[in-house]
Amino acid sequence: MRTIRWGIIGCGNVTEVKSGPGFQKATNSQLVAVMRRDGALAADYARRHGVPKWYDDAEALINDPEVDAVYIATPPNAHQEYTLAVAKAGKPVYVEKPMALNHAECQTMVAACKAAGVPLWVAYYRRCLPRFLKVKALLEAGAIGAPRTVTVRFYRDWVQPTDQDQLPWRVQPAVAGGGFFVDLAAHTLDYLAYFFGPIAQAQGYAANQGGYYQAEDIVTGSFVFASGVHGIGVWGFDTYQRLDETEIVGDRGKLTFSSFGVEPICLTTASGITDFPEPTPAHVQQPLIQTIVDELNGIGQCPSTGESAACTSWVMDQMLQGYYRKQ
């Protein structure tokens, strides 16, 4: 069993707790280098996290002979560029979600990695979290019978920045590929595809109701899985309340849970209500990272691939295409 030596491109907030320490704590894994365009920030990250090397140039990290695999943790607008560079160097790629600005870029990334003969994984880490594995296990055990429908309701309020020129990059379509919908709904749509198989049909309506930024702040959509399960969802980012609820209804019961919370999963059947509390790891990407390291060592497979992540981007593209076609 060899130790996989990782390099990170873009050591921003997501790498502080969610992902970065996971590369250090996973078995047979080591974080050996980090890169950020601001060298001072890269050096600071390396010092605080005990990483031996830091760079302010991505090519230098990619071509470092002591880096075996690269995690790309930049905003989505740079995912394609860096993925192609890492693939060209012949190294495995692990890229943040959403995979890219759109499905077309995802396809380019998948093709480049296939041509280079390197694997491509995407950070849809809910596929490995105990909470969502429990939902999947309950579904497969027939806890609600045959699944029929999925309903997603996700609401967030908007806090206006004091400085109008400092909008979060997540609501800048040129950087994020859309608004908060693309950043957050991606997780939900992806784990639902993990439960029920690929989404074969999708359509939606998007708008900007609040007028605070260019990106969409409301999306309503419907989708149908190839397995026959039907789904609907509404994601609103300028509401008076916060709500995060996914409900899966079958012919003998239902499951209710959140995408981002930690409260118990709720199973409702004719026999009553049962709650299933599940732990959340300190470093939420660590379980998925472990599957990548294991796959590189010839043990098992990571469940979140470039192909599966590209499908999630395709679904979001279908729901948003009317809005951005008007821009």
Please give the pLDDT value at position 313: 98
Query: With bands split at pLDDT 50, 70 and 90, how would you rate the model's confidence at 225?
Result: very high
Across the range 295-301, mean pLDDT stands at: 97
Judge contact between 229 and 147, C-beta under 8 A. yes
Measured between alpha carbons, how far is 21 from 34 in angstroms, rounded to an integer? Answer: 12
State residue 164's pLDDT score.
66
Q: Half-sphere exposure (CA, 13 Å, Cβ side) for 153?
A: 9
Identify the CATH assignment for 130-280 out of 2.60.120.580, 3.30.450.20, 3.30.360.10, 3.60.10.10.
Answer: 3.30.360.10
**Per-residue pLDDT at 161:** 83
Q: What phi-psi label fits residue 144: left (phi over 0), alpha (psi between -120 and 50 degrees) or beta?
A: alpha
Which amino acid, one-letter code, is at 193?
Answer: A
Q: Residue by residue, what is the 3-state secondary structure of 228-262?
A: CCEEEEEEECCCCCCEEEEEEEECCEEEEECCCCC
| For residue 285, pLDDT beyond 70 | yes
The SS3 call for residue 300 is: coil
Q: What is the pLDDT of residues 144-178, one digit of tens each?
A: 999 999 999 999 999 888 776 789 999 999 999 99
The pLDDT-based confidence of 218 (bands split at 50, 70, 90) is very high
Closest CA to 45 of 58, 27, 31: 31
pLDDT for position 327: 63
Q: What is the mean pLDDT of the chain?
A: 97
Other CB atoms within a 10 A radius of the CB of residue 194 amount to 20
pLDDT of residue 325: 85
Peptide bond into 130 cis (omega under 30): no
Judge residue 234's burial from the number of C-beta atoms within 10 Å of its C-beta, 0-12 exposed, 13-18 middle, 19 or more buried.
middle
What's the angle, vertex CA 260, arms to CA 49 and CA 165, rounded to 5? 70
And the tokens for 56?
A: 């302010």
In this prediction, residue 139 carries a pLDDT of: 98
pLDDT 10s digits, 102-142: 999 999 999 999 999 999 999 999 999 999 999 999 999 99
Residue 178 CB neighbour total at 10 angstroms: 29
Per DSSP, 273 falls in state E
Using one digit for the tens of pLDDT, what is the confidence trace for 57-66? 999 999 999 9
- Tell me the mean pLDDT in the region 31-36: 98
Question: Residue 30: which residues within 8 A CB-CB, separation 6 or more?
Answer: 3, 4, 5, 6, 23, 24
For the chain, give the number of residues: 327
Digit-coded pLDDT (tens) for 70-100: 999 999 999 999 999 999 999 999 999 999 9
Domain residue limits, the chain: 4-123+284-288, 130-280
Q: Specify the pLDDT at position 159.
A: 87
pLDDT exceeds 80 at position 270: yes
Burial status of residue 251 (CB atoms within 10 A of its CB: 0-12, 13-18, 19 or more): exposed
CA dist 267 and 144 (Å) reads 8
161/275: higher pLDDT = 275
Q: Is the separation of the CB atoms in 188 and 154 below 8 Å?
A: yes
pLDDT band at 308 (very low <50, low <70, confident <90, very high): very high
What percentage of the chain exceeds 70 in pLDDT?
99
List the CATH code of the domain at 4-123+284-288: 3.40.50.720
Q: Tokens at residue 182, please? A: 């693309």
Using DSSP's 3-state secondary structure scheme, residue 205 falls into: strand
d(CA 189, CA 201) in angstroms, rounded, equals: 13
Q: How far is CA 219 from the centre of its chain?
A: 18
